[in-house]
Amino acid sequence: MAKKSKEKELVTTPAVTWENYEYQDDDFVLRGNTVDTKTDSNFASQSYWKDVRVRFFAKKSAVISLICIIIFTLLAILGPMMTDYTYSKQNLEEQNLAPRIPGLENLGIFDGDETISTTTGSKTVNRYEEMGLDDTYYWFGSDTLGRDIWTRVWSGTQVSLIIAAVSTVINIVIGMVYGLISGYFGGVVDTIMQRISEVFNGIPRLVIVILLMLVFEPGLMTIIIALILTEWIKMSRITRAEVLKFKEQEFVLASKTLGAKSMFIIFKNILPNMIGPVITQLMLSIPTAIYTEAFLSFVGLGIPQPRCSLGSLISDAFNCFMTHPYQILPPLIVMSLLMLCFNLLADGLRDALDPKMKEM
């Protein structure tokens, strides 16, 4: 009965269907962005990098460290050019001179005076005056072979920073590729790769480095290779953990649903998201590299003479550090400060890039 009446209705009044409907001008109205959208001005949305910048600059220790690192890097480049000496030029007549800097010498510091402690007591001598060297200035003093310590310290810093930078960059590349493959493809590939890296991780760094030095000649390249061999594992572990974390998330699933290939997901979806931990690890592996280089120099496997690094300067000056402590202080202080600054910078960057990681 009801059906019948409906049919009747359809016949009597012309039906409005999707096919015959004529659109009117006011059927669709553009919802104006200007009128209807409200902007939250109290909690304005910020881009990730702006957030990072704000958080980073709020942390004083990190900013000061960054400034110090920039100053040290500039000095490492410009420092050796600021004097007439070169890092290898020896002047055997002017050995073991205490630091003397023009201008500051009138203030009672850096005036070339040296207090020598002997068994009978201590006495202050000024070897510049004794030798009549009125116009000679060694800003940080001269070493046992009469080389300028200022020049050597900064060219040593240069070498140490180059070693750190090159090895870190290569490490990051190797570690990330390894971690990405292992984490993303999973399964048997992951198991095998993880076992390999676990075995590798079980060998102490000390042993790897020393054995490598037996095979190759000590030198810049050997130290860099040693650092690469020992440091990539940390990077690969961090990368793998990050990949595992992101690979199961919805945005990757969405990407896959839309037909994205592995390469696209890895480079466009996962990599940009793990930049925080990667940068932090990068900053942390620089002091490790500086330390390992210094350690190798101290053991006698460092950069061959006459080139120098911070480590070789320290180990050279160690032999006379009781009598001439000023010789060991500059490289020691520069190295300690560099390591401290990179550590603090890494802390600051970690907090800035990934606030959830704080307090770890």
Residue 345 near residue 61, CB atoms below 8 Å: no
Cβ-Cβ contacts under 8 Å for 273 (sequence gap 6 or more): 242, 246
Report, in Å, the least distance between residue 7 CB and other proteins.
59
Residue 64 lies near other proteins (rule: CB under 8 A) = no
Residues 191, 183: Cα–Cα separation, whole Å: 10
Which of positions 108-137 make contact with other proteins (CB under 8 A)? 117
Residue 107 lies near other proteins (rule: CB under 8 A) = no
Residue 301 lies near other proteins (rule: CB under 8 A) = yes
Taking CB under 8 A as the criterion, the residue among 193, 213, 229, 243 binding other proteins is: 213
Residue 336 lies near other proteins (rule: CB under 8 A) = yes
Nearer to other proteins among residue 109 and residue 203 (C-beta): 203
Taking CB under 8 A as the criterion, the residue among 75, 86, 162, 205 binding other proteins is: 205
Binding mask 259-288 toward other proteins (x if CB under 8 A, else -) reads ----------------------------x-
Residue 56 lies near other proteins (rule: CB under 8 A) = no
Taking CB under 8 A as the criterion, the residue among 102, 272, 300, 355 binding other proteins is: 300
Residue 146 near residue 307, CB atoms below 8 Å: no
Report, in Å, the least distance between residue 213 CB and other proteins.
7
Residue type for position 13 = T
Residue 284 near residue 301, CB atoms below 8 Å: no
Residue 198 lies near other proteins (rule: CB under 8 A) = yes
Nearer to other proteins among residue 207 and residue 254 (C-beta): 207
Residue 99 lies near other proteins (rule: CB under 8 A) = no
Residue 325 lies near other proteins (rule: CB under 8 A) = yes
Beta-sheet pairing, 113-118 with 121-126: antiparallel
Binding mask 156-195 toward other proteins (x if CB under 8 A, else -) reads ---------------------------------------x
Question: Binding segment for other proteins among 45-53, 123-131, 169-177, 338-346 (CB under 8 A)?
Answer: 338-346
CA 261 to chain centre: 32
Taking CB under 8 A as the criterion, the residue among 24, 202, 258, 263 binding other proteins is: 202
Residue 359 lies near other proteins (rule: CB under 8 A) = yes
Report, in Å, the least distance between residue 198 CB and other proteins.
5
Residues contributing to the site for other proteins (CB under 8 A): 117, 195, 198-199, 202-207, 210-211, 213-215, 287, 291, 294-295, 298-301, 314, 318, 321-322, 325, 328, 332, 335-336, 339-340, 342-344, 347, 359-360
